[in-house]
Amino acid sequence: MHTIREYRPDQDAAALRACFVELQNFERGLEPALPEGETVADAYLAWMLTRSKEWNGKVFVVDSDGEVVGFVSVWATVPQD
């Protein structure tokens, strides 16, 4: 069974990173100019989590029988530039 729940940094950080790396590498297969997931994962996730705090957002994960298999970041207040 799949459940969507709020990201828990103390429990989900490694799984969130693994999901991002897999996603980035999939996208790299479509666009080879993109960097490898391992290369950008830490910087991107730090940026994403910071923006979530600054912009009244949340990160959610998809939990499948205790294993994180996906994620989404939602930002509620994004400043206009």
Per-domain residue ranges of the chain: 2-75
Give the pLDDT of residue 81.
75
Q: Give the helix/strand (H/E) hosting 3.
A: strand 2-6
Give the pLDDT of residue 55.
92
**Residue 73 and residue 19: Cα distance in Å, rounded?**
13
**For the segment 22-78, what is each residue's pLDDT rounded down to a tens digit?**
999 999 999 999 999 999 999 999 999 999 999 999 999 999 999 999 999 999 887
Q: What is the pTM of this model?
A: 0.89
**For the segment 2-16, what is each residue's pLDDT rounded down to a tens digit?**
999 999 999 999 999
DSSP annotation of 1 reads -
Give the pLDDT of residue 78.
79
Q: How would DSSP label each residue in 18-79?
A: HHHHHHHHHHHHH-TTSPPHHHHHHHHHHHHHHHHHHTTEEEEEEEETTEEEEEEEEES-PP
Tokens 């294993």 found at: 67
Tokens 């990201």 found at: 7
Give the pLDDT of residue 23.
97
